[in-house]
Structure 1
Amino acid sequence: MRGFRWPPPPDSGPRTWGPGPGGPRTGRPALPEPDTDLVATPHGVQLERLITGTGDPVTVFAHGLGNGIATTRPFGSGVTGRKVFFQFRGHGRSEAPDGPWTYSDLARDLRAIADLGGASRAFGASLGAGALCRLLAESPDRFEKLVFFLPAVLDQPRGPVAGDRITDLLEAVESGDASVVADVVTLELPAAVRNTPAGWAYLRQRLDQLLRDGLAGSLASLADQTPLRTTSDLAAVTAPALVIANAGDDLHPVEVAERLAAALPQATLHVYDRPGVLWSERADLRDRIAGFLNE
């Protein structure tokens, strides 16, 4: 039986025990991270940003909690025009003003980056989907197209599993111990991927970023908050929207995606029927997002 262990083999590939070859198997190395810049926002918080692509339209991409530019870029790989990626406050090189923070603060970060980049379309994953909901509740006509990937919370607080996961990640990063962080980050991977070259490459990339940049403790205050008072806050949003969910994901229940799609007047819901969509349906996911935004 294979088991997770840290530190990993030096080439990112797993070793096997028992009869048969015991050497490491080579995994594809992670791509080097591109140079980003820090931009001043009207609300006084400097945020880390990366712009790729050329021309119009412009799409802004908002990441999930504890993630960032590197994990969000694949979602835009087939999207035409310019793509604006950024780090919310408390992530990466973005500033971390004194907390506690609210979804209104995150919506302010998202709005500033979208306005500065001239974005007319928006993508939000998990935490980013919540920030996008908050922004739309305040400005329902801000974007022309919307994509919500694995929305986690609307008008009801997240459950204890999500709260514990956030706390565990923040405490692990604060410890500075790579093995402790690895134990938490590994839970993001489907069991079948955890001891594969692709899994090790992902884990190395995530640990490099988290241990280098850290995470702000004020993010913990978001665990018990909601971006909306009621889903009717989204009734005035008329932009076409694509809502994507994944069956079997305890942190991002399908029910939340269903309620979000029902609340948006022009939404299409797609539910993948098995967990780990980023690993099992990566090509279809990329084509689905690009097809919706590019059509």
Structure 2
Amino acid sequence: MVTIEVAPGVRLESLTTGSGTPVTVFAHGLAGGIADTRPLGGAVAGSRVFFQFRGHGASTAPAGAWTYQDLADDLRGVADATGATRAVGVSLGAGALCRLLAAEPTRFDRIVLFLPAVLDEPRPAAARTRLGGLLRAIASADRDAVAAEVATEVPAELRGTSAARAFITLRTTALLGSGLGASLAGLPDQTAVDSAEPLKAVTAEALVIGCRGDTLHPAETAERVADLLPRATLHVYDEPHPLWRHRHDLRERISTFLNS
């Protein structure tokens, strides 16, 4: 692990695997981290740069709520420091990647947007309710309540497995630690970009991956992102939780696209 300083007081934990070019940077989802994105990049050629956004893991930043612009700055800083020409964004990371591309549409050659949650319109009411429930649980510091919210990220039939229990424990700890709850305060009402129009100028080849039946990651958001990006391919899984139910296919789909 190494630390990359992307701005005064903002030091992000990172890990590089593989070697040579191309260099691909991986941006994780809410309360996730390097351990969550590494499975997606295991078969990707070249150097793979995994990092943790501010407030996650050992990454540090000034106190206060952050915005998608802050996250885009994190992603840009890591990409610039490592010479990344490709990027993968997962959920929150996909929003940060969209924010960066709206400002710098030629920044990357290839991009993957996995489970984009929000673009330029407010989240649907159901998604805001889900996020609000999570934030209230975090604010209460009730570990059981937070764990119950996190458990919804795992298919019901898998929640009793050792892998699921470990995931729920780690994610719950992350949400209750490092003051992350305060940083998330404004998240339900935020959009990733102010306007989606600049995405029409993005030059990168793109793979957009969504799924149906996921309250926090509506398939309609993935479809709209793919429609806006001029060189996008869209794949939508017919059921939620693709990282749990379709991990092999997902990993192969991402690596085939990035390695071609």
Q: Same fold (TM over 0.5)?
A: yes
Distance in structure 2 (CA, Å) of the matches to 1:100 and 1:204: 24
Distance in structure 2 (CA, Å) of the matches to 1:162 and 1:222: 11
Query: Could you give the per-residue CA deviations for residues 13-39 of structure 1, whole angstroms, max 9, x where no partner exists?
Result: xxxxxxxxxxxxxxxxxxxxxxx3332
User: 2:50 — aligned with what?
Assistant: 85
Map residues 109-124 of structure 1 onto 2, 5 A cutoff.
109-124=74-89
Match of 1:220 among 163, 176, 185: 185
Q: What SS does the corresponding residue of 2:185 show, helix, strand or coil?
A: helix
Match of 2:217 among 232, 252, 265: 252
User: 1:184 — aligned with what?
Assistant: 149
User: 1:96 — aligned with what?
Assistant: 61
User: 2:235 — aligned with what?
Assistant: 270
Conserved 8 A contact 1:46-1:95:
yes
Conserved 8 A contact 2:24-2:84:
yes
Match of 2:13 among 48, 60, 74: 48
Q: What SS does the corresponding residue of 1:188 show, helix, strand or coil?
A: coil
Q: How far 1:213 moved relative to its partner?
A: 4.3
| Alignment TM-score, normalising by the size of structure 1 | 0.82
User: 2:33 — aligned with what?
Assistant: 68
Once the two structures are overlaid, the 10-residue window that deviates more, 66-75 or 168-177, is: 168-177
Conserved 8 A contact 2:56-2:178:
yes
Q: How far 1:175 moved relative to its partner?
A: 4.6
Q: Which structure dedicates a bigger proportion of its chain to helix? A: 2
Distance in structure 1 (CA, Å) of the matches to 2:142 and 2:187: 24
Query: Could you give the per-residue CA deviations for residues 71-128 of structure 1, whole angstroms, max 9, x where no partner exists?
Result: 1211111111111111112222222323342211111111001111111100001111
Cα distance change of structure 1 residues 212 and 99 upon mapping to structure 2, 3 Å threshold: closer
Once the two structures are overlaid, the 10-residue window that deviates more, 42-51 or 164-173, is: 164-173
Distance in structure 2 (CA, Å) of the matches to 1:167 and 1:69: 25
Match of 2:195 among 184, 208, 230: 230
Query: Could you give the per-residue CA deviations for residues 165-205 of structure 1, whole angstroms, max 9, x where no partner exists?
Result: 33433444455443232111111111111122332232233
- Pairing 1:169–2:134 present: yes
Cα distance change of structure 1 residues 224 and 90 upon mapping to structure 2, 3 Å threshold: same
| Alignment TM-score, normalising by the size of structure 2 | 0.92
Conserved 8 A contact 2:87-2:112:
yes
How many residues are paired up? Answer: 260
Which amino acid is the alignment partner of residue 278 of structure 1? L
User: 2:104 — aligned with what?
Assistant: 139
Which amino acid is the alignment partner of residue 57 of structure 1? P
Match of 1:126 among 56, 71, 91: 91
Q: How far 1:210 moved relative to its partner?
A: 4.1
Q: What SS does the corresponding residue of 1:284 show, helix, strand or coil?
A: helix
Conserved 8 A contact 1:91-1:216:
no
Conserved 8 A contact 1:48-1:86:
yes
Can you give the 5+ residue segments of structure 1 that lack an aligned partner in the other structure?
1-35
Cα distance change of structure 1 residues 254 and 64 upon mapping to structure 2, 3 Å threshold: same
Query: Could you give the per-residue CA deviations for residues 31-62 of structure 1, whole angstroms, max 9, x where no partner exists?
Result: xxxxx333212454111212222111111111
Q: How far 1:216 moved relative to its partner?
A: 4.3
Distance in structure 1 (CA, Å) of the matches to 2:245 and 2:154: 11
Give the alignment's Cα RMSD to 1 decimal: 1.9
Which amino acid is the alignment partner of residue 253 of structure 1? P
Conserved 8 A contact 2:175-2:181:
no
Q: How far 1:212 moved relative to its partner?
A: 5.2
Once the two structures are overlaid, the 10-residue window that deviates more, 193-202 or 282-291, is: 193-202
Once the two structures are overlaid, the 10-residue window that deviates more, 76-85 or 191-200, is: 191-200
- Pairing 1:294–2:241 present: no
Identity of aligned residues (%): 57
- Pairing 1:150–2:94 present: no
Q: How far 1:289 moved relative to its partner?
A: 0.2
Q: Which structure dedicates a bigger proportion of its chain to strand? A: 2
Conserved 8 A contact 1:59-1:119:
yes
Can you give the 5+ residue segments of structure 2 that lack an aligned partner in the other structure?
none
